[in-house]
Amino acid sequence: MVGLFSAEVARRLQSRLSMIVLEELDDFPSLDLETIRFIAGFDSSYAGNIQCAVVVVYDLQAGRVVEKTHVGVSVKVPYIPGLLAFREIPGYMRAYGKLSVKPDVLMIDEHGLAHPRAFGIATHLGLILNKPSIGVAKKHLHSEIVTVDNRKIVKAHGRIIGEVIEHEKQKIYVSIGYKIKLEDAVKIVKKLLVENKKLPIPLQIADEYSKTIKNKYYK
DNA sequence: GCGACAG
DNA sequence: ATCTTGTCGC
């Protein structure tokens, strides 16, 4: 027997958990970008009700992907803006569990703190796995964009929590997920941007891998 | 009531 | 996210 999903309860949970995160926000540690090595990229594609969740681990030092895992799961929760984590995280946790290389930083193709209740999927996943995490989204969800010194700063909940980067004529909304400073998150994302690819490498490869696996096994 | 709305 | 016809450009 499974309980029915309640959007109201889910939103309440997000609000409560975000209090923990916002309290720690100013004390999120600086990362030593010289020693950061494994970046995990999470993404999903769908074949009807089947979510093909994948994790790609990119070795920043070697400059290549060292591991990919995937899992196909039937989703139990509909897509509701702001509650995407409840739909996608179960699949991500199962794909993550299959990794033999445990990443230093998580990168998710969605928002982190730039979320109505400061608890986007990147924040949610970072908290659950207790890892630094970065939200990298292609569209705006919730935030105020302020231009300061030619930089597009993302503000939400009275805090500076993200930055909009332009790459290949496209906007990339970077936001703090968990346990990471904005400047480190932006540096890592920029370091992973390449020509002719819209997203940072781990997410670009995760996106392609997810679609390939979905077409091969879940269609 | 109206607009906005990650994937 | 996915579906999906036609069109543009290399």
- Give the mean model confidence (pLDDT) for residues A45-58: 97
Tokens of A127: 């908290």
| CA-angle at A173, arms to A201 and A165, nearest 5° | 75
Query: Does the pLDDT value for residue A71 go beyond 90?
Result: yes
Secondary structure of A16-29 as H, E, C letters: HHHHHHHHHHHHCC
Nearest nucleotide to the CA of A175, by C1', is B6
> What domains, with CATH codes, occur in chain A?
7-217 (3.30.2170.10)
Q: How far is the CA of A195 from the C1' of C10 (A)?
A: 18
Tokens of A22: 């916002």
**Bases in strand B with any atom closer than 7 Å to a protein CB:** 4-7
Element (H, E) at A50: strand A50-59
Looking at chain A, the whole-number percentage of residues with pLDDT higher than 90 is 96
* β pairing state of A38-47 and A50-59: antiparallel
Query: Does the pLDDT value for residue A177 go beyond 90?
Result: yes
Query: Does the pLDDT value for residue A2 go beyond 90?
Result: no
A118 touches strand B (CB under 7 A): no
Angle A121-129/A84-97 helices, nearest 10 degrees? 40
Q: How confident is the model at residue A94, as a pLDDT?
A: 98
Is A126:A92 a contact under the CB 8 Å cutoff? no
| CA-angle at A8, arms to A138 and A113, nearest 5° | 35
Q: How confident is the model at residue A4, as a pLDDT?
A: 86
Q: How far is the CA of A49 from the C1' of C3 (A)?
A: 15
Q: What share of chain A is helix, strand, coil (3-state, %, to 5)?
A: 30, 30, 35
Query: In 3D, which of A160, A176, A161 has the Cα closest to residue A127?
Result: A176
Element (H, E) at A92: helix A84-97
Looking at chain A, the whole-number percentage of residues with pLDDT higher than 70 is 99
Please name the residue whose C-alpha is nearest to the C1' of nucleotide B4: A141
Query: Does the pLDDT value for residue A3 go beyond 90?
Result: no
User: Per residue in A125-155, is it b (16+ CB within 10 Å) or e — as a string?
Assistant: bbbbbebbbbbbbeeebbbeeeeeeeeebbe
The answer to pTM > 0.75 is yes
